[in-house]
Amino acid sequence: MTEPHVRPAGPKSDESIADLVRDMSTQTSRLVRDELRLAQAELTQKGKRAGVGLGEFGAAGLLALYGLGALFAAIIAALSLVMDVWLAALIVAVVLFVIAAVLALVGKKQVQKAVPPVPEQTVENVKADIAEVKEARNHDH
């Protein structure tokens, strides 16, 4: 009578190791694709913030230009010694400059939130993934 074939009690067969390598390759590819999608989404969000901030800077510049025009009108009115017109033009100029300053500060904050354009969340995720792979490799040895 022949004894049934018994596998050695050592490492898994070559076929299962090939399956593990294939699975690891597939999972690694999926992880890289997922991280790239996250980086793209994060950079898109930061780009939008930068666009809003730059738009607010543009609005501040436009209002400052109008303020300068009103200030010139005030100077002209002052020179013509029509006090009521001069005072009105000066008040308008001051209000426009105040609005421009507020918009400039808000725009600056928006641009600062968007810079640097690094996908910070993705970088942290990749660092965590690398640490996990290293830890798993150390446990295998």
Q: What is the pLDDT of residue 111?
A: 84
In sequence order, the 6+-apart residues with CB closer than 8 A to the CB of 128 are none
Burial of 126 (0-12, 13-18, 19+ CB in 10 A): middle
DSSP character for 12? P
Identify whether 74 is part of a domain. Answer: yes
Identify whether 55 is part of a domain. Answer: no
Identify whether 102 is part of a domain. Answer: yes
Token reading at 73: 């009108």
Model confidence, pTM: 0.40
| pLDDT digit string (tens) for the chain, length 141 residues | 555 555 555 555 566 887 888 888 888 888 888 888 888 888 888 888 888 888 888 999 999 988 888 887 777 777 676 556 767 777 767 887 898 999 999 998 888 887 766 677 777 887 888 888 777 777 766
How many structural domains comprise the chain? 1
Identify whether 88 is part of a domain. Answer: yes
Give the residue numbers spanning the domain of 107. 67-112
Alpha-carbon distance of 24 to 33, in angstroms, equals 14
∠ at Cα 103 (56, 50), nearest 5°?
35
